[in-house]
Amino acid sequence: MGSTPALLAPMGDLLKRLGCRVEVAPVRFGVDCGEATAHAVGNALSELVETASAPAIVIGHSRGGQFARAVATRQPEQVRGLITLGSPLTRMLAVHPLLLAHLFALGALGAVGTPGLLRPSCRWGACCAPLRADLTGPFPGAVPFLSVYSAADRVVDWRSSLDPAARHREIVTSHGGLIWDPASLTVVVEELAVLLGPDAEAPAGRGSCRVARSRCSRRSAC
């Protein structure tokens, strides 16, 4: 929510240097209707998978992880692995009271017809009922799922990141740091190496990433 290309750049640049083909999902700053955004993410995933002729690894930060979990649940054959970073998964609104106040303000604007904004029905109404169900419902066992969180997160309650369907990895950083802190980037690289297995050393441009554990240490800037 509220992420910009500049905020996402450290993660994207790292993945590109590792030989990954990176596509940013069209979440429109993450403030639109949840179900509509999940559909947009699902369509973008389908287009990427069709172009690459291979399933994708999906990485979602904060509210983006909610969309990512829903899409992985709906399109498991297109997802090689899911990584969420500081995402409120077990409780949709497990966020700091100040952010909650902003959400209610955005919802009020959306309720009176302001385009591109979420609405109160996204939390309680029928429009986003499928998204809420996919957030708390069963997750496909064939899709590896890692939830990364920080107990120092002051935006999202870290306990809501403990999805029972996921493996959990704790690091020490801020909420925003989960997309740029070297500790977080290291965890992402390590998970990519596990997910890609033998393909991790394959040449770029064949639907895989060149990822080696030795290329990134916890003390480096990756």
Q: How confident is the model at residue 31 (pLDDT cuts 50, 70, 90)?
A: low
pLDDT one-digit tens code per residue, 102-115: 544 444 444 545 55
Helical residues (DSSP H) of the chain, grouped into ranges:
5-17, 34-52, 63-74, 97-111, 121-124, 129-136, 182-196
Q: Across the chain, what does the average pLDDT equal?
A: 80
Give the rounded distance of the alpha carbon of 178 from its chain centre.
11
3-class secondary structure, 116: coil
Q: What is the pLDDT of residue 114?
A: 53
Asked whether the whole model's pTM tops 0.85, one would answer: no
Over 50: is that where the pLDDT of 38 sits?
yes
